[in-house]
Each structure stands twice: as C-alpha cells, then as structure tokens.
Chain A
Amino acid sequence: MRKHVFYLISVLVAILELILFFWALGNGTPLPFVAGLFLGIAVIYLSRLYVEEIIEDERVQKIREKTAYSTLQISWIALLAFSLWMIIEGSAGRFNPELRRLGIFGIGLFMVNAGMVIVFILLFFYYRKQYGE
C-alpha cells in the first residue's frame, strides 16, 4: 500500500468518527461512538502494517519519544495544579452543593493523575528490566 493511500484511509476514518460523534451526541448514546472509535483505531493500525514505503524510522521514533515524555510532564503538572485548585475551591463551600461537586471532581482528577504516575513507574521498571537490569 502506498503512503498516500494510508493517509487517505486515516482522513476517511477521522471524518467517519466525527460523524459518529455528532450522531451519538444527538442521540445521547455514547456506546456506538466508543465502539466506532476502537474500530477506527484498529483500521488505522492494521492499514499501517501494509504500507510499503518507510513512514517511521529511528529518528521519527526518537522525536516521538521525546515529544511524548515532554507532553506527559506538562500534563502532569497542569492536571495536578488544576485538580488541587478544584479541591481547595470545593472545600471552601462545604454547604454549597455546586462547590462540593467541584471538589469531588477535583479529587477524581487527582486520582487520575496519581494513576498516571503509577502506570509510568510500573512501565519504567518493566522497560528497565527489558533493557538489561
């Protein structure tokens, strides 16, 4: 498969996902969209395997690794600050249900952030073992 065909498939999948998203939004049913999202990702992943031209080499991988790590670091800091801000804001209004909900959401966001850190540490140890330790 040519590189251009792969890009065309990717764009088509993206358009279909967008249509499905708005359809799900109008109907209030998230399940078809989530299923379609996984299917779309699978289609892109599988079609990528059949591309004959080179679209990824060690330099692209290195760029991706550095970009991913920097994005993760920025996301951690931003999420942590945002979640703590919501927790503090929420704790100020114990008797206000709106602010209370904000605080609970902040705690949830903080837990997601902590989960990301745990996944990172587990993967770090996994790859450290894989690359000789």
Chain B
Amino acid sequence: MSFFLNYLIQAEIFSVMALSTNLLVGIIGIFSVSQAAIFGVGAYTVALLLLSKMLGFPAAIVVAVVLCAALNIVLALPSLRVAGDYFVVTSFGCQLVATAIFINWSQLTGGASGLVGIPTPAIFGYSTDEPAAFACVSTVILAISCLGFWLLMRSPFGRIVHAIRQDELAVAAAGKDVLRAKVSVAAVSGAFAGMAGGLYATYLSFIDPTSFDIGVSIIILTMLVVGGARTLAGSLVGPFLLLALPHGLDLIELSPTIVGPMRQLIYGALLIAFMMFRPQGIAGQRL
C-alpha cells in the first residue's frame, strides 16, 4: 500500500509541475528549461520556513507560491525580447545560476548536502505523517491546479494565450495586451511550481541541489512531451507514466548502480521515440 501511495504522491507532485510547464512551454510558447529552478525555490522556501518554525505549512505554501510567481515573471522577462532558440539558451543560463546558488549559498540551503529533517505538513492541527494523509494533501493540491488550468483554458484569456503562441504580432494587431498575458501565465506557472516544490520538500523531508538541476527540468519536459502538450490529460498521463517506470524498476531485483543509469536511458530513449514517432504525445498536441 505504501509503495503505491509513494508512487501516487510523487506522480501528483510532478503532475502539478507538468501543468506549470504546460502553461509556460506548451500553451503560451515560452520554451523554458529552468522549470526545476522554480520548483527548487518553492521547495527550499517551504523547507526553510518549516525548519525555522516561522510559519505553518499552509502559510509557507502561500509564501512559496507568491515568491515563485514573482521569480518566474523575472525569469520569463527575457522572452519579451528574445524568442525561440535564444530563449532556451537564456533559460538554460537561469537554471545554471539557480543550481549554483542552491549549492553555494550553504548557510541558507545547506549546500551540496542539502536540508534534512523537513517536517511533514500539519494542516490545522492534523499531522500528515502517514502516507495516506499526505496523499490527501497532494491530491487536493493537484485537484486545485487542474481546476485552475481548466478554468484558464476555457476562458477568453485562454484563447488569447493560445493565440500568442501562434502569432504574437497578430494578437498585438487585435489590440490585446501581449505583455500582460505573458506575465500572467508566467505568474500562474510559477505559483504551480511553488506548490509542487513545497509538497516535494515536505514529502521527502530531504532536499538537495540535485533534485532541482537541469536534469530534472529535462525530465519534466519529457513528461510533457510523452503525455502530450496543451491538454490537461497530457499533464497527468506523462508524470504518472514516467514515474511508473522507476517504480517498476524498483520491483525488479536490480542493483542500485544499474537502476539509476537505466532510468536515464529509458527517459532519453522515450523522449527521442516520441519526438520522432508521436510528437503530439499520448493525449496532447505537438509541442
């Protein structure tokens, strides 16, 4: 049971991250490879607030959401000037800077050894030490994220955002505020990443810089490609499927030295295969 709940919780956390990435990369077309950096900022923020006992879990999540929304706007700002491939390189730079900060600002982040003993969330007095209780929290947060995503996509705002991806100039010619839409999407995407980060830190109770490096950004993008971009279903299918693989490998008796590289190999192969043979993913559209 706890094996299944462990899988469920992690898949839910990464589904929130996939929704965040879907909004930014899939829908408005800001091709960021620094999503793990925002995820990490959310995780470190909640971890530090809880470890210092400054705030409770709900308040810490709110702080992480606001901080990540603001930071993601800053990271997305170059996209107003540079587009396409150039932005990928810019965001790659942002990701490297974030990793360097996670590793080197050791007084705050614990450096390469990370932060340990992050307390599990206590929500209005109820502890979530049991995986089943934590699964309730992560399910609620995923449900809120899905509802938010669905409402945005069904609105006039959703139409403007889709239009911006296809032809920004034509949206300006329609008299619509492209800047406001981009900033808004970056903020919502950042907010989702902040929630996911906070959940991740409190669930594992341990975080270190490798949890939020460029490799994790690539894994999140792989989830989006495999699940399928631009749809709600795609952001759920991708993480649930890709995380089933390592959990499946755990079931087979393999030495840990093989499991790690094997997982990377499978992810890489999947990314190539989907890009070549099914660019729209399982339940979405071509990125």
Chains A and B form a bound pair: no
Interface residues of A (CB under 8 A from B): none
